[in-house]
Structure 1
Amino acid sequence: MFCYQCEQTAAGTGCTKVGVCGKQPDVAALQDLLVYFQKGLAQVALAAREKGVYDASLGHFMARAIFSTLTNVDFDGARLIELIRETVSRRDALAAKVKAAGGSVPRGPATLAPAADQAGMIAQGEEHGIEKDPELNADIKSLKQTLIYGLKGVSAYADHAAILGQEDDEVYKFLQEALAATERLDLPLDKWVGMVLECGRINLRAMELLDAGNTGTYGHPVPTSVPLGAKAGKAIVISGHDLKDLQMLLEQTVGKGINIYTHGEMIPTHGYPELKKHPHFFGHFGTAWQNQQKEFGEFPGAILMTTNCLQRPRNEYMDNIFTTGLVAWPGAQHIAEKADGSKDFSPVIEKALAMPGYPADTDKGSVLVGFGRNTVMSVADKVIEAVKGGAIKHFFLVGGCDGAKPGRNYYTEFVEKAPKDTVILTLACGKFRFFDKQLGDIGGIPRLLDVGQCNDAYSAIQIAVALSKAFDCGVNDLPLSLILSWYEQKAVAILLTLLYLGIKNIRIGPSLPAFLTPNVLNVLVQNYNIMPITTPDQDLKAILG
């Protein structure tokens, strides 16, 4: 195997024996094969578009399939094989329609027949991994992989949005065009740079769709205090990102005597009016995704994993953990989706009722969430006045993906050392390095503002754009600095969006992506002044003078 799509890749160069994420070589090969067949499906889909043949369900399926290969999502080879077979079935059915309409499809992934068994598919996957790309130019190969990883992030957000009824064929068409392009060997370097930036634009659209789905269904987040302790009684903890799964779980546990807790990226959901109205939606358990193996063993109830962020379940809680959606681990109980999109969480509920739950109330303090763009812009006049009056000297957006690699304490120290006349905006699970810090306020404006999940980078962008208009300047001229941590491919897609928007002077860490060649990195430095983090003291001095 060879995989270097995440920040924690082995030795900073690539996982070759087993994934740091827990991915085994056979699963890595099946994921590579699924991506390869998706490229073939993309080629056929484009040929079909040329002949006026269109399958309305194809785009969402492709997004789901690509999302399945994102880090910490699907570790189950059997489920990946199902996706491979459905990909080939859809490809061949669509190819027949293309040929009937007088068109043709290229040879390669658009015509390759899958092996008959799992061993054969694994061998095929090994023949179509990153190292087998025939592209000889290292920089183009780097940009191809950057594009593919950006597409994985786009696919994740597109899937989340589609689940809530928000779709745009522009997103799906680009997914198909970009996947098909990665099989070409005739495109010059500048075309690849353009396509990578276009991926950033499309990701902005995908996040916009998801924002519309979330806020249109559950209301705009409002400032909400979330308990970090426990309430006596039976318990279920839900992790991941999917708001619809949470909604269904809340509705199905009404009157059951079960309290619902969030974990990881689910903490911002406490701010949504249509979710927080449930009295048994109690509080937050634990911290970021990478701590779940220790934390879940201490949870006295059932565990539900949605979307990504899954680690290998330990034996002590293997019987208590459930997966749903695209998340899967061999042996873990999976809650399947019905044809109408509903899910029956009865097995999760029954497990929670059979477990001890919390024996007594505990108080571990609380944190504030719910500072999306509507909330922040509702006090924009106070923010602007505080900036003009000198009470607020600078804004820092400190967020992104958390992880276990040493060096991530940088973000905790940075926030702790940021001057008291600065405001910290944060989003995604990177905030768990400092989410419970009591930083006080500036004129009633909290110094620590939780904007939401990683996809709420869209909300943060809208805040920045609104402030730039209020101050009649460009975003890069605002007293705003981006200090980002990254781990997986959603973060890659968001970074591409920021670059597409022309945002400069981004600091990123704890290390730079292994899939970027020195030349590609140099382009980012020259055009965007993107830079690695150093130390909190040095970076604060460089930013604030």
Structure 2
Amino acid sequence: MANLMFCYQCQEAAMGAGCSLTGVCGKKPELAKLQDLLIYAAKGLAAVSAEWIAEGNPVPGEAAKTVRRDLVMTAVNVNYDASAIRKQVTKTRRVKRELLEKLANREGLPEAALWDDGEAAYELMASSPKVSILTADSEDIIGLRELVIYGLKGISAYLEAAGENAPEDAETDTFLLQALAKTAGTGENFNELVNLVLKTGQYAYRAMERLDQANTARFGEPVITRINRVHGVKPGILIAGSDLGVAEEVLRQTAGTGIEVYAHGEMMTALTYPHFREYPHFVGSYGGAWWREKEDFDCFGGPVIVAGDAMVPPGASYETRLYTAGAAGFPGCRHLERRSDGSLDLTEVIEQAKNSPAPRDTAPSAASAVGGFGRKRMAALSDMILDDVRSQAIRGFLAVVGDDGRSAVRKYYTELAEKMPARAVILAAGSVKYRFEDLGLGDILGIQRLTDMGQSGDCYSLIQTAMNFKAGLNLEDINDLPFTWLVSWNDQRSIANLLALLYLGIKDIYLGPTMPAFITRNVMSVLENTFDLHETTEAERDLKEFFPEDGETRAKSVKPDITKDMLVSDIVRRYPDVVPTLLACGLNCLTCGASAFETLEEACQVHGIPVDEVLEAIQDDPMRD
């Protein structure tokens, strides 16, 4: 048991319940437990900081910055380097110790605030029940507590991406420290945690606003841009992640060198900001969503920089040309350090790029994409769009926020876009857009049916657009808009987006493609009753709900039939009562990692079992819900 881990903070969690042997993301148990230790240390620092503030002192800036980095380094697909995590634990202990010595009163501090074992004891402490996320009175308390923490991780990710250019906001830093401190003790109250979840949404919205202010102040307001997705013949550098500041640094230092620079994944949004258009060697986007890194990075001939997040354990073919920046890290890959003037040392990257081959063709994609629909551009288009709404030329909007992932069940979003009514428009913020980027959805009277509003943090622009539409249509309630809100959750940024929408009172939100394991049935019941939060089902069925004909809607309680193209893990999660039937049919792979990616048909093929016989057995099962 000592070697086991437990993690369920992302959509890829094994069996939709949690990774215990190794992470589906590639995280090993030793690393997972060190990350849990870092969160434990962060809780201790937050508790000391909260007491420091309660004694009438200003927000301890170094403590807030340290806790933000702690939270981001433990988020999904960010840092796999155990030595970097250990180093951050040590730093967090130091900052806490220095602040603790200044406190007038230590009474009532949680155990995490007083923990100060040396580095030799890290592994032992990391395996302690004190550090495990499962130490709580009930699974509901655990789930709510983790929901708060994951929301705080999303907030921290947005603040890290904003960088030093973000406006000072002591109020957000205070909340971050106080909220994390509240998760450090025991005996949490269910209702108090529910309120804390909604409060986290308030500051998630505020963090997105700070990110928007920082980016637009530094890089200008995004402009509608046709983004090149065809690679050139010169050597290049590829930048992944979402930290626009790193992209600017790379462009500045490579100007005039003959090196071309490309964006991967959500970094594509950088190409829509006026400041980046000043660099002619920033030639376009290369590849697809973050989860395609192994394929795309292998085809890209030059060095690759992962800026802040979206790290997939690298393949051997490109590990020697992969660099990390910010909170990201992987053992064996070189981490780009800051010089004394704050700039990144890119000397090695640039030299390697000069001696690299040009990019090769990666997976087929459209030759270009259209982006840059920020809040200001959408405001300028609002009269034309709302005229189309009034005339029914545009029947409704799918507001899709959040991130993409590897799971096959995410084809839901592609099917949604393929089958949605011809008069519907998608407003997308986040890498989920890659699920329908290449469908050629066209336009409605000049309005793009896929309106790319940017990165996951640009959910702020989407919300602002909804508020502008509400005013333009003279509506009293934002929920009266012809909007359907979908949150494509993969990691903590998506959770922060969800909580922000709940804080704003937006209802009838659909969350998918599967439900987070940490949202228990009781917690989900509260969210359903208060906000009409729903789980996505199947694209065709959901579209009948989103765009009802003749006033008819399907009942919320209807669930999809089990079909051969459903993931095994999804079947087990949604229909646990059919597990004995599956086992009786010979499907003994229900708990292996492959179940997260295999459809029922694929699993049957592996075991030499006719899938039609399995489906018939399921239909005949009297225990089926």
Offset of 1:359 from its aligned partner?
8.3
Conserved 8 A contact 1:2-1:129 = no
1:263-274 matches, cutoff 5 A: 263-274=264-275
* Letter matched to residue 64 of structure 1: R
1:243 match: 244
Offset of 1:122 from its aligned partner?
2.1
Q: Distance in 1 between matches of 2:410 and 2:106?
A: 53
Show CA shifts across 1:367-417 (max 9, x none): 101001111110111011111111111011134211111211111111111
Conserved 8 A contact 1:36-1:128 = no
Offset of 1:231 from its aligned partner?
1.3
CA spacing shift, 1:253–1:129, aligned 2, 3 Å:
farther
Offset of 1:107 from its aligned partner?
4.8
Is 1:20 equivalent to 2:24 in the alignment?
Answer: yes
Offset of 1:267 from its aligned partner?
0.8
* Letter matched to residue 135 of structure 1: A
Of 485, 490, 494 in structure 1, the residue corresponding to residue 488 of structure 2 is 485
1:446-465 matches, cutoff 5 A: 446-465=448-467
Offset of 1:271 from its aligned partner?
0.5
Offset of 1:146 from its aligned partner?
0.6
Of 486, 503, 506 in structure 2, the residue corresponding to residue 503 of structure 1 is 506
2:617 match: none
Stretch of structure 1 that moved more, 124-133 or 177-186: 124-133
Offset of 1:183 from its aligned partner?
2.4
* Letter matched to residue 35 of structure 2: Q
Q: Distance in 2 between matches of 1:344 and 1:96?
A: 36
Q: Distance in 2 between matches of 1:516 and 1:107?
A: 26
Conserved 8 A contact 1:33-1:128 = no
Identity of aligned residues (%): 37
* Letter matched to residue 93 of structure 1: E
Of 60, 64, 67 in structure 2, the residue corresponding to residue 62 of structure 1 is 67
1:538 match: 541
1:35 match: 39
* Letter matched to residue 350 of structure 2: I
Q: Distance in 2 between matches of 1:501 and 1:410?
A: 26
2:606 match: none
Of 503, 506, 523 in structure 2, the residue corresponding to residue 520 of structure 1 is 523
Stretch of structure 1 that moved more, 157-166 or 295-304: 157-166
Query: What residue ranges of structure 2 are gaps of 5+ in the alignment?
Result: 549-625
1:388 match: 390
Of 423, 426, 430 in structure 2, the residue corresponding to residue 421 of structure 1 is 423
CA spacing shift, 1:312–1:133, aligned 2, 3 Å:
closer
CA spacing shift, 1:229–1:156, aligned 2, 3 Å:
same
1:214-293 matches, cutoff 5 A: 214-293=215-294
Offset of 1:30 from its aligned partner?
0.9
1:495 aligned counterpart, secondary structure:
helix
Is 1:176 equivalent to 2:177 in the alignment?
Answer: yes
2:90 match: 85
Offset of 1:292 from its aligned partner?
0.7
1:109 aligned counterpart, secondary structure:
helix
Show CA shifts across 1:498-531 (max 9, x none): 1111111111211100011110011111111111
Stretch of structure 1 that moved more, 157-166 or 204-213: 157-166
2:246 aligned counterpart, secondary structure:
helix
2:99 match: 94
2:408 aligned counterpart, secondary structure:
coil
1:283 aligned counterpart, secondary structure:
strand
1:322-333 matches, cutoff 5 A: 322-333=323-334
Offset of 1:278 from its aligned partner?
0.8
CA spacing shift, 1:165–1:495, aligned 2, 3 Å:
closer
* Letter matched to residue 519 of structure 2: L
TM-score scaled by length of structure 2: 0.84
1:484 aligned counterpart, secondary structure:
strand
2:255 aligned counterpart, secondary structure:
coil
1:360-439 matches, cutoff 5 A: 365-439=367-441
Q: Which has the larger radius of gyration?
A: 2
* Letter matched to residue 82 of structure 1: K
Q: Distance in 2 between matches of 1:130 and 1:57?
A: 24
Query: What residue ranges of structure 1 are gaps of 5+ in the alignment?
Result: none
Conserved 8 A contact 1:51-1:103 = no
Conserved 8 A contact 1:164-1:244 = no
Q: Distance in 1 between matches of 2:462 and 2:150?
A: 22
Show CA shifts across 1:313-372 (max 9, x none): 111101111111110000001101234431121211111111111489x99511101001
Conserved 8 A contact 2:402-2:493 = no
* Letter matched to residue 357 of structure 2: P
* Letter matched to residue 216 of structure 2: T
* Letter matched to residue 47 of structure 2: Q
CA spacing shift, 1:523–1:358, aligned 2, 3 Å:
closer
Offset of 1:482 from its aligned partner?
1.4
1:423 aligned counterpart, secondary structure:
strand
Q: Distance in 2 between matches of 1:359 and 1:529?
A: 47
* Letter matched to residue 377 of structure 1: A
1:140 match: 141
* Letter matched to residue 148 of structure 1: I
Q: In angstroms, what is the RMSD of aligned CA positions?
A: 1.7
Q: Distance in 2 between matches of 1:127 and 1:359?
A: 48
Q: Distance in 1 between matches of 2:533 and 2:133?
A: 30
1:345 match: 346
Q: Distance in 1 between matches of 2:231 and 2:133?
A: 51
Q: Distance in 1 between matches of 2:472 and 2:483?
A: 14
Conserved 8 A contact 2:137-2:187 = no
CA spacing shift, 1:130–1:489, aligned 2, 3 Å:
farther
1:123 match: 124
Stretch of structure 1 that moved more, 56-65 or 125-134: 125-134
CA spacing shift, 1:191–1:509, aligned 2, 3 Å:
same
Conserved 8 A contact 2:45-2:63 = no
1:203 match: 204
2:571 match: none
1:416 aligned counterpart, secondary structure:
helix
CA spacing shift, 1:135–1:481, aligned 2, 3 Å:
same
* Letter matched to residue 28 of structure 2: Q
Conserved 8 A contact 2:239-2:264 = yes
Is 1:48 equivalent to 2:52 in the alignment?
Answer: yes
Offset of 1:128 from its aligned partner?
4.7
CA spacing shift, 1:103–1:25, aligned 2, 3 Å:
closer
Q: Distance in 1 between matches of 2:102 and 2:365?
A: 63
Of 3, 7, 26 in structure 1, the residue corresponding to residue 7 of structure 2 is 3
